[in-house]
Amino acid sequence: MDPNPKPAVPPKKRRIGVLTSGGDAPGMNGAVRAVVRMALHSDCEAYAVYEGYEGLVNGGNMIRQMHWEDVRGWLSRGGTLIGSARCMSFRERAGRLRAAKNMVLRGIDALVVCGGDGSLTGADVFRAEWSGLLQELVSAGELTEEQIKPYSVLNIVGLVGSIDNDMSGTDATIGCYSSLTRICDAVDDVFDTAYSHQRGFVIEVMGRHCGWLALMSAISTGADWLFIPEIPPRDGWEDDMCASITKNRKERGKRRTIVIVAEGAQDRQLNKISSSTIKDILTQRLGLDTRTTVLGHTQRGGAACAYDRWLSTLQGVEAVRAVLDMTPTSPSPVITIRENKIMRTPLMEAVQATKDVTAKIHAKDFQAAMTLRDPEFKETYRAYLNTATPDHPKMMVSQEKKMRIAIIHVGAPAGGMNQATRAAVAYCLTRGHTALAIHNGFPGLIRHHADKPISSVREVQWLESDSWVNEGGSDIGTNRGLPSEDMEGAAKAFELHKFDALFVVGGFEAFTAVSQLRKARAQYDAFKIPIVVLPATISNNVPGTEYSLGSDTCLNTLIEFCDAIRQSASSSRRRVFVIETQGGQSGYIATTAGLAVGAVAVYIPEEGIDIKMLSRDIDFLRDNFVRDKGANRAGKIILRNECASKTYSTQVIADMIKEEAHGRFESRAAVPGHFQQGGKPSPMDRVRALRMSIKCMQHLESYAGKSREQIAADDMSATVIGVKGSQVLFSPMGGETGLEATETDWERRRPKSEFWLELQDVVNVLSGRTGNRAVD
Ligand code: ATP
């Protein structure tokens, strides 16, 4: 390759460069893969700039054209395969001058930068100086007017890749959930030893200026105490911490004590609070056998979790779309996410807001720092306090507002059910309500009511629910049975136990159950209480939400399965694995997993399977294996939802592929089955369980003191909480515009319109199934 090509005529196609900069983060490879493949799909050329800005400054072989196959298999790789560096010379104008020259010489007129706020600031400085840099290069005789003419505008798009999640304007950065997963795995392991020896553990996590990792890991592991930079504890915190921990151990019988401290934790005078200081306090004042664990760089390592693969892929695709949409006057965007919606935000606004947070912390204006952080962060912090310090006198409601809140699980188990219940119980105890767990769903409630009245409904206390913090499944028992099996019995049980409100955690059956109760209000006054559904199902098929608890845990389980099975083929012959996913009549899990593992094709019930489709895909595979020169012999994955076709079963498809391959490659069927419903809940499911559960409790509480008739007349008294685009909302079940009438496909047990269907296109584009490219 000529290291110094001088294109006299600018390329007709865009040449898009991509680099990763700052600290590495899991998911950066997914972003590069998506940028490269989306660029190629859009008839542009893609260039990887190696070692961050270092590669831009040095040019030559550090800027390499990328082809479709170059990024094969990158989704499952940790770190960043194109390297990252902290580049001092790019901080100087002279360095940026060299970078500008290299870009013009290579004909690159758009740059996607994946990094933290420092890297994105650098990108914006570069963009702002761009025309001045070019003029200077011409004046110095390094480039000619003719050479720079086509490059008058530099398009920059930012992707936030950082484990800290410290960028304002986005709920999550690429890498933060993977890092949180590493932390939670470590703390879950420490749990066992802490429990066995009744020990205390002080665990230090990353986050110099941002407490996101510390806060989310404290929530996910039920930590007793938390230190984050944004909200230093009040003076005398040592006494507060010791008193709270003593209470947890003595009064609530907790055998283990976990304190999470962000590396940037400080007191109100900005003096560092270190993990060893905390350890000494616990040891000396409480005589607690306390150990310190500094998690360090393990937090950065490993493959990206499902969410980071999904996020980096969709954001990489969006970055290329943004490049193609940009006009000479468009401000540079950074690709962000709010709840479930990928968005574009002005880059400098996001960077400025991030810097403002740090400035406010330095100025000891902690209130303002917290306000400048994302609303989600603030809300989640409050939610943590609600559950970490139950029975705090200031938080109690007045006597007449105290409620008896029943909690029930309906349907198949899903990760996050226990966490949602734990959070609801802790909230109830904090506020002075009574939390009643209904064991084994509606059949449990009805049956036990008839036989031995009280046994299926039990008041839950703090300690019992505390251990649910990291457990999968449903501890109180879940059941698919519906109240319609004995509506009268259900009504009697509601009356007997004096339920004032009902919190239902579960999937489509939970939705159906609440619909039945709502409709039965006409006959039974007992059901005229506020009822809310918190969707929890791996199928993610509940109307009113784009996200259900448990779906993230299931995705992580599935990608682990796919990664392992794919790797198993690396040393043997070439193989295609046809893997069957659960999901009922909804192809959500199959499609999202397909996106996260780079599947060749995904078969879903919404589209069905026909012979033409199979024939095309077999041709596609055949062609692909011919072009595969053996650089990457890992297996290829096809995902098939369990209900995608009655005729073309997973085994039949695998057999057809094998037959048609004529010995050039093999095919195998694999069914992970109930493996998909098990495992420890992912941190995302744990955190969202807490946040959404507390919102549900607050919603139920808002009905305190209302009459049964007022409640029945209010459509919002039977609702579903859900993520809808960029918001978390309650949607009414009944009424003309309610979910039951407008959004539910009752026959197929899924929402009428499924937000994720468009992701099928992304899977197809990035696997090359759309267009004529090689597959992953
Ligand atoms: P992390 O969140 O992991 O710290 P970061 O992107 O914030 O990532 P930095 O070390 O701050 O990491 O920045 C990475 C690189 O970006 C720097 O080494 C430098 O090359 C470039 N950079 C940062 N700030 C600027 C700036 N103000 N002007 C020019 N370049 C910059």
pLDDT band at 371 (very low <50, low <70, confident <90, very high): confident
Region of poorest pLDDT, from 76-90, 373-387, 450-464: 450-464
Q: For residue 447, what pLDDT is reported?
A: 76
SS3 sequence of 188-226: HHHHHHHHHHCCEEEEEECCCCCCHHHHHHHHHHCCCEE
Q: Ligand 1 atom 28: the closest Cα is on which residue?
A: 122
Average pLDDT, the chain: 90
pLDDT in tens, 127-148: 999 999 999 999 999 999 999 9
Q: Is 628 a catalytic residue?
A: no
Query: Is the confidence at residue 539, as pLDDT, over 90?
Result: yes
pLDDT band at 4 (very low <50, low <70, confident <90, very high): very low
Burial letters for 188-209: b for 16+ Cβ neighbours within 10 Å, e otherwise? eebbeebeeeebbbbbbbbbeb
Q: Which two tokens stand for residue 40?
A: 């190629």
Task: Write down the pTM of the prediction.
Answer: 0.92
Given strand 666-670, what is the order of strands in its sheet? 601-603, 636-641, 575-581, 666-670
User: Which is more confident, 631 or 760?
Assistant: 760
Q: For residue 684, what pLDDT is reported?
A: 95
- Positive or negative, the CA dihedral 409, 411, 413, 414 is negative
CB 38 within 8 A of CB 44: no
Instruction: Please give the Cα distance from 728 to 692 (Å, whole number).
Output: 8
- Positive or negative, the CA dihedral 101, 67, 19, 338 is positive
Q: Ligand 1 atom 13: the closest Cα is on which residue?
A: 118
Place of tokens 């696997």: 767
Instruction: Please give the Cα distance from 317 to 468 (Å, whole number).
Output: 38
The answer, yes or no, to whether any atom of ligand 1 lies below 6 A from the CB of 355, is no
Question: What letter represents residue 562's amino acid?
Answer: C
Q: Ligand 1 atom 2: the closest Cα is on which residue?
A: 116
Q: Please state the residue numbers annotated as binding site for beta-D-fructose 2,6-bisphosphate.
A: 480, 537-541, 575, 582-584, 642, 668, 674-677, 749
Q: What is the mean pLDDT of residues 619-635?
A: 73
Q: For residue 3, what pLDDT is reported?
A: 42
Number of helices followed by number of strands (H, E) in the chain? 26, 25
Query: Is the confidence at residue 211, as pLDDT, over 90?
Result: yes
Q: For residue 178, what pLDDT is reported?
A: 96
Q: What is the mean pLDDT of residues 667-684?
A: 88
Return contacts of 238-241, CB within 8 angstroms, 24+ apart: 238/281, 238/285, 241/278, 241/281
* Pocket residue to mutate for ligand 1, from 62, 88, 91, most atoms within 8 A of Cβ: 91
Query: Is the confidence at residue 1, as pLDDT, over 90?
Result: no
pLDDT in tens, 494-537: 999 999 999 999 999 999 999 999 999 999 999 999 999 999 99
pLDDT in tens, 56-109: 999 999 999 999 889 988 998 999 999 998 899 999 999 999 999 999 999 999
Q: How much of the chain exceeds pLDDT 70, in percent?
A: 94
pLDDT in tens, 235-269: 999 999 999 899 888 777 777 899 999 999 999 99
Using the atom order of ligand 1, give the atom closest to the CA of residue 126: 29
Question: What letter represents residue 617's amino acid?
Answer: D
Q: From start to end of 98-182, where are the E strands? A: 110-115, 155-160
Q: What is the mean pLDDT of residues 345-349?
A: 92
Place of tokens 């993520």: 723
Q: What is the mean pLDDT of residues 442-463?
A: 76
From 70, 109, 124, 164, active-site residue: 164
The answer, yes or no, to whether any atom of ligand 1 lies below 6 A from the CB of 122, is yes
**122 alpha carbon – ligand 1 mean position (Å):** 6
Q: Ligand 1 atom 16: the closest Cα is on which residue?
A: 119
Closest CA relative to residue 47, chosen from 76, 84, 16: 16
Backbone angles phi, psi at 251, to 5 degrees: -80, -35
Report the Cα–Cα distance between both ends of the chain, in Å, rounded: 26
Angle among Cα 353, 357, 362 to the nearest 5 degrees reads: 145
